[in-house]
Structure 1
Amino acid sequence: MENFILILLAIAIGYFIRRLNIFSKDAPTILNQFAIYISLPAMILLQVPKLTFSVDLIIPIIIAWFVMGISAILILILSKFFNFSREVTGSLMLVAILTNSSFLGIPIINAYMGESAMPYVLVYDQLGTFIALATYGTFIASYYSNNSKITFKIITLKVLTFPPFLSLIVALFLIGVEFNPMISKILTSFANTIIPIALVAVGLQLQFKMPREDIKPFSVALTVKLIIAPIIAIAICKIFSWNNEAAIVSIMEAAMAPMITAGAIASMAGLAPRLSSAIVGYGIIISFLTTGILYKLIG
C-alpha cells in the first residue's frame, strides 16, 4: 500500500512544484539524467546478480520479448496510419512498449499473488524489461532523436557507452556473487532514488489540460500498453498451453503501466517530453484499475 501512496504522492509533488514555479525549467531533464546515469545502473548492479535459473523461469522471458516485439510492430503500423511525427513515434516506441515491471509489478503482483510469484516478477523485469531498456531503449532514443544520418557505428557506440547497458554487462558476470554488505548498502541507497526522482520528474511535466494534438497518440499508447499487450500475453499462453503461476505473473506484468525510466529517456532525448510524461503519469493511475480488472478475469 505504501508503494501506491509513494507513486501518487511523488507525481503530485512534481505537479505542484511546477505550478508554484519552485524549480527551474531544466529540473525535469536534470532529474531524469540523475535517474538514468546513477540510479538505474545502481539498481541493475544490485538486482541482476541475485538471479537463479529454472525451467519455469523461461516463460516470463519468452512472453516479455514476444509482447514487446509485437507491440513495437503494432505501434509502427499505427504511427504510420495516423501520420504521427518522428518525435511522437519515437516517444510511443518507448513508453508504449517498455513496461513498469519492477516498481509497479512487484507491489501489485505481491498484493494479488503473494511472495511465491516474486521470482517470476524478477525474471520478467531483469531478463525482459531491463535488457530491452538497455539495448532497444538506447537504439530507439538514438535513432529518433538524432536528425543527422544514423549509422550502425553510431548506434553501436551509443549502446556500448550507455551506463545502464554497461552496468548490465558487468552485472551478468556477477550472477551468483554475493556483495560485501557495505557495497550492497551503497547500491541500495542509490537504487532507491530512481522511483521518487523519476516520478517527481513526471509530475513536473504533467498537464491535465492535454493539447488536442496529443490526444490521439496518448490514446494509442495506452490502448496498446494497458489493453493489447496483456491480450498478446494471454494469446501466447494459450498457444503454448501455459496455465501456471509463471504464466499468470507474465500476463500481469505485460499489463503494467509504461515504465517510468522509458518516459525519462524519451524526455531526455527530446521525444515529445510533454506527451511522454502524460502517458507515463496517466498510465500509472489508470493501470491501478486495469490490472485489478485483469486479475479478476485470469486469477
Structure 2
Amino acid sequence: MENFVLILLCIVIGYGINRLQIFSKDAAITLNQFAINISLPAMILLQIPKLHFSIEALIPAIIAWGVMTVSALLILYLSKIFEFSKEVTGSLMLVAVLTNSSFQGIPVINAYLGDSALPYVLIYDQLGTFIALAIYGTFIASFYSKKSELSFRIIIYKVLTFPPFLSLVIALFLMGVEFNETVTEVLKDLAATIVPIALVAVGLQLKFKLPREEIKPFSVALIVKLLLAPLIAFIIAKIFNWNSEASVVSILEAGMSPMITAGAIASMAGLAPRLSSAIVGYGILISFITTYFIYILIG
C-alpha cells in the first residue's frame, strides 16, 4: 500500500510544484535527466545481473515489439477510418504506441510484484521501448513533421551513447556475477532515487486541457494504449504458452500510460502538441485504474 501512496504523492507534489511555479520551468527536464543518466543505469546494473540467460529473459522484449507493431498498425488503420489529419496521426503513432515502461512501469510493477519483477521490467524497457523510441520514434517524428530531417547516423549515435543502454550492455556481460556488499549498497541507494524523482517529474509535466474537437483522437489513443495493448500482449503470451512472471510483467508494461518522452517528441515536432500532452496527462491517471484491473485479471 505504501508504494501506491508514494506514487500518487510524488505525482501530486510535482503537479502542485508546477501550479505554484516553485521550481524553474526546466525542472522536469533536469529531474528526467538525473533519472535517465544516473538512477536508471544504477538499477539496470543492480537488477540485470540477477537474470540467467534463457528464453524467459527475452519474453519481455519479444512481447514489447509485438505489442508496438500491432498497435502502430491499429493506429494507422483507425486514423484512416476516422480521417485524422497527418499531424494528429503522427501524434497518435507516438503516444498511443510507446509505453511509459520505466518511469511508471518500475514503481507500479514493483508495487504489485516486488523486486523479483524488476529485471523483466528493465528488459522490456531497454530492449523494447527504448530502442523503439530511438529508431521508430525518430522516424515517425521526421516522417510526419516538416520540422526535422531523418538521420540514421544520429539515431545510431543516440542509441550507442545512451547511458541506460550502455549500462544494459555492461550488465548483460555481468549476468550471474555477484557484486560485493559496498557496490551493491551504492547501486541500491542510487536506484532508489528513480521512483520519487521520475514521478515528481511526471507531476510537473501533467496537462489536462482538451478541446471538444480532439476528443475522438484522444479516445482512440487511450483505448489502444490502455486497453488493446495489454490485450495484444496477453494474446501473444497465450499463443506461445508463456505463463510466468516475465509474461505477467510484459502484459502490465503494455498497459502502462503513454510515454512522456513520446509526448515531448510529438510536441517538439509540431504533431498536435496540445492533444499529445492531454493524452499523456490523462493517460497517466487513468492507467493507475486500468493496470489495477489488468493485474487482478491476470493475477
Match of 1:223 in 2: 223
Cα distance in 2 for residues equivalent to 1:289 and 1:86: 29
Q: CA deviation at 1:227?
A: 0.5
1:102 aligns with 2:84: no
Q: Normalized against structure 2, the TM-score is what?
A: 0.79
Q: Offset at 1:4?
A: 0.9
- TM-score computed with the length of structure 1 as normaliser: 0.79
Q: Which amino acid aligns with 2:292?
A: G
Is 1:83 aligned with 2:87? no
Structure 1 runs not aligned, ≥5 long: none
Q: Residue 27 of structure 1 corresponds to which residue in structure 2?
A: 27
How far apart in 2 are the matches of 1:251 and 1:133? 14
- Contact persistence 2:121–2:249 (CA under 8 A): no
Going from structure 1 to structure 2, the CA distance change for 1:149 and 1:253 (only over 3 Å counts) comes to closer
When structure 1 is superposed on structure 2, of 93-102 and 156-165 the one drifting more is: 93-102
Q: How many aligned positions are there?
A: 288
Specify which of 133, 137, 141 is matched with residue 133 of structure 2.
137
- Give CA deviations for 1:24-54 in whole Å, capped at 9, x if unaligned: 2222222222222222222222221121245
Displacement, 1:243? 5.2
Deviation at residue 218 of structure 1 after TM alignment: 3.4
* Match in the other structure for 1:36: 36
Unpaired runs of 5+ residues, structure 2, are none
User: In structure 1, what residue type is equivalent to 2:124?
Assistant: G
Q: Structure 1 CA distance, aligned partners of 2:215 and 2:122? A: 32
Equivalent residue number for residue 184 of structure 2 = 184
Shift of 1:256: 3.2
Aligned positions of 1:1-299 closer than 5 A: 1-54=1-54, 56-57=56-57, 59-79=59-79, 82-84=83-85, 89=90, 92-93=93-94, 96-100=97-101, 101-108=105-112, 110=113, 119=116, 121-122=117-118, 124-144=120-140, 147-212=147-212, 215-242=215-242, 247-258=247-258, 262-264=259-261, 266-267=263-264, 270=268, 278-299=278-299
Report the Cα offset of residue 9 of structure 1.
0.9
| Deviations 1:197-255 (CA, angstroms, capped at 9, x unpaired) | 22222212223333446544432332112110122123224433455665455434433
Provide, for residues 65-87 of structure 1, a one-character-per-residue CA deviation record: whole Å limited to 9, x for no partner.
32232223333444566535558
Instruction: Confirm or deny: 8 A CA contact 2:44 2:171 kept in the other structure.
Output: yes
Contact 2:94 2:263 in 1 (8 A): no
User: 1:13: how far off?
Assistant: 0.9
Flag the 1:180–1:33 CA change in 2: closer, same or farther, 3 A.
Answer: same
Pairwise CA distance, 1:5: 1.0
In structure 1, distance between residues paired with 2:243 and 2:191:
34
Contact 1:138–1:158 (CA under 8 A) maintained in structure 2: yes
Deviates more, 1:88-97 or 1:36-45: 88-97
Once the two structures are TM-superposed, the CA of residue 266 in structure 1 deviates from its matched residue by 4.4
Q: Residues 216, 188 of structure 1: CA spacing in aligned structure 2 closer, same or farther, 3 A cutoff?
A: farther
Cα distance in structure 2, aligned partners of 1:140 and 1:268: 12
Shift of 1:277: 5.2
1:192–1:219 CA distance, 2 compared to 1 (3 A): farther
In 2: Cα distance, 1:124 partner to 1:207 partner = 30
CA distance in 1, matches of 2:38, 2:51: 22
Give the letter aligned to residue 263 of structure 1: I
